[in-house]
Amino acid sequence: MKHAPQIALAAQLKVSKVGIKAFQKVGAFVKPTTRMIQTFGHTATRARVEVDEKQLQSLLADEALSMDLSLEKGYVILSLGEDFILGAGFYGQGKVRSQLPRKELRRAMFQLSTALIVPNCSAG
C-alpha cells in the first residue's frame, strides 16, 4: 500500500488504523501476527512446519510437538498440510508449541463429525 499514490492523500486524514499489524516485540523476539502469516506465509521458504490434523489437535490442546528441525530457536509458520496456513508456532529445545489464537481457532473446528452442518432446514 505504501507505493499507492493515494496514500499521500489519505495521510492527510485523521486515521486510527492502516493496513494490518504485521509484528510485535515479545522479549528478545519479533513475533509475526497470525494475520500477517496467513497473508504472506505461503511465500516463505524456511521456518515452515507442516502438521497433520492429529498434531494440530495436540497443539490446540496446549501440548508441544517433539520435532528435530534444523532451525534456531524462534517463531515458525504452522500449516495444516502444505497449503492451509494456520499461523505462528514457537520452536525451541526440540519442541514446537502453538501460538495460534485459542479463542478463534478451536479444536472442534477440525473435528469434522461435529454438527457444523445441520440437517436441511427449509433450504429449498
Q: Residues in the site for other proteins, rule: CB under 8 A?
A: 1, 4, 6-7, 9-10, 12-21, 35, 38-39, 80, 84-86, 104-106, 108-110, 112, 114, 116-124
Minimum CB separation of residue 97 from other proteins in Å reads: 19
Q: For residues 1 and 39, what is the distance between their CA atoms, to the nearest angstrom?
A: 14
Residue (16 or 45) nearer to other proteins, CB = 16
Instruction: Choose between 18 and 69: whose C-beta lies nearer to other proteins.
Output: 18
Q: How far is the CB of 18 from other proteins (least distance, A)?
A: 5
Residue 20 CB partners (closer than 8 Å, separation 6+):
33, 35, 36, 39
Minimum distance of other proteins from residue 78's CB (angstroms):
12
Considering beta carbons, is residue 24 or 39 the nearer one to other proteins? 39
Q: How far is the CB of 12 from other proteins (least distance, A)?
A: 5
Instruction: Name the phi and psi angles at 55, rounded to 5.
Output: -65, -35
Scan for cell 506465509, then name that residue.
41
DSSP string, 65-114: EE---S--SEEEEEEETTTEEEEEEEEETTEEEE-S-TTTS-GGGG-TTS
Which lies closer to other proteins via its Cβ, residue 68 or residue 104? Answer: 104
Indicate the Cα dihedral angle 28, 33, 38, 44, nearest 10°: -20
